[in-house]
Amino acid sequence: MVKGDLTPALVHAMEAQVGNAVENLAATGVDVIAYCDMVTTFIMEPGWNEAAVAKIASETGAKAISAWTSLRDALAALGVKRFALGTPYPAKIHAIGLPFFKSRGYDVTSDHTLDILATREVPTVDRNRLMPMIDALDLSSAEALVLLATDIPTFGMIAEIEQKIGRPVVTSNQALLWGAMRALGIKDRIAPLGKLFTT
């Protein structure tokens, strides 16, 4: 397991371990394998994510998704092309995400980051830190709010945030769960997880 500050070097080190992780997961007979990191997609070469997902599916026989493919499909399901973006990423990593989304046809109407360098700090982000970040975003022209990072515990706040801002909220883990369920043909409505799970 790779630990430390969120830097390109750490991301490359983590990516190098993907093969072993996939092999271990496939050995358990799971039906879906999810690559649960968005920053890797920002840092690796264009097309890496889609190729990695296809490789996982081909080599294991399982369905494969990623944080990016799940987010992409979730935004499409909601009909969203313009969104405000909040992340906990270090400013330099956060900045890489903006051209990534633009190159894929999205308009990031407003963005803000908590600028957290230490990966171990991200899971400690609570509503007292998350809500002020959301309040700092200009949502006037956004069709949705996207909150990235699988380490941020957002499930208990999604419905509350949607009610507050009057727009769909898409988070990394919410989109991954939705993507995994859809890959298996499961379409359960889960109201606390927002419009993505009730539309």
Identify each DSSP E strand in 82-153 by its residue range: 82-87, 107-113, 144-147
* % helix, strand, coil for the chain, step of 5: 50, 15, 35
pLDDT tens digits for range 138-193: 999 999 999 999 989 999 999 999 999 999 999 999 999 999 999 999 999 999 99
To the question of domain 69-184+186-197 being in CATH 3.40.630.10, the answer is no
Calculate the average pLDDT of the chain.
Answer: 90
Asked if residue 27 has pLDDT above 90, the reply is no
Cα–Cα distance measured from residue 66 to residue 148, given in angstroms and rounded to the nearest whole number: 13
Residue 6 binned pLDDT confidence (cut-offs 50, 70, 90): low
Residue 3 binned pLDDT confidence (cut-offs 50, 70, 90): low
Query: Comparing 29 with 84, which gets the higher pLDDT?
Result: 84
pLDDT tens digits for range 81-100: 999 999 999 999 999 999 99
Rounded to an integer, the average pLDDT of 105-129 is: 93
For the chain, what is the largest distance between any 2 Cα atoms, rounded to a whole number of angstroms? 48
What pLDDT, on the 0 to 100 scale, is given for residue 8?
Answer: 72
What pLDDT, on the 0 to 100 scale, is given for residue 36?
Answer: 84
Cα–Cα distance measured from residue 194 to residue 106, given in angstroms and rounded to the nearest whole number: 21
What pLDDT, on the 0 to 100 scale, is given for residue 25?
Answer: 85
Asked if residue 1 has pLDDT above 60, the reply is no
Identify each DSSP E strand in the chain by its residue range: 32-35, 63-66, 82-87, 107-113, 144-147, 169-171
Asked if residue 15 has pLDDT above 80, the reply is no
In the block, tokens 């949705």 appear at 144
Of the candidates 29, 32, 35, 31, which has an alpha carbon nearest to the alpha carbon of residue 51? 35
What pLDDT, on the 0 to 100 scale, is given for residue 52?
Answer: 86
Cα–Cα distance measured from residue 32 to residue 48, given in angstroms and rounded to the nearest whole number: 19
Residue 30 binned pLDDT confidence (cut-offs 50, 70, 90): very high
Residue 61 binned pLDDT confidence (cut-offs 50, 70, 90): very high
The structural domains of the chain, with segments of one domain joined by +, span: 8-67, 69-184+186-197
In the block, tokens 């998350």 appear at 130
What pLDDT, on the 0 to 100 scale, is given for residue 185?
Answer: 96
